[in-house]
Structure 1
Amino acid sequence: MDNPKEVPVAKRIMDAQYTLHGGQYGGFLIKILYSLVGVAPNGLFITGLILWQQRRWAEARRKEARKVLNLAEQSEQLR
């Protein structure tokens, strides 16, 4: 390999980017870490979707309970 001081900075940067992009850096544990970091956004999306849906269902149940309570109160008033 060439003397690092003689290699242009642009080539050193490109070589470093290629090594990182190709997953040739750090060994097996780093590859596992890269994989987990890559999958994490999907997990965040899915758990966020689940929490959002649960809130919607809870609100629908509260609305239904209010309707039933209002009907019960109205029927009590008619008696």
Structure 2
Amino acid sequence: MAGLPPQQFDAVVLRYILGIKAHRIGWYMGLSEQTVNYHCRQGKQRNEQAVHTLAQEGQRRHHRRWQRDGHEGLTP
């Protein structure tokens, strides 16, 4: 979440964490409801991509550790 641009971060927090409706967020941020929805979609996509990347890195680390510990012929 910390890597999101400021408006996406604000929109995602207000909508998905605090549960505020898009039209209210738009009023607060000075944006249209459609723009708030756009920022929420983009922020959600970026977060999903970041989680996917972290999961892949974790699997690679686990696999390297598995190999380093002498388990090359076995599946982790």
Could you state the TM-score of these two structures normalised by the residue count of structure 1? 0.47
**Structure with greater contact order relative to length (CA < 8 Å, sep ≥ 6):** 2
Bigger helix share: 1
> Which of the two has higher C-alpha Rg?
1
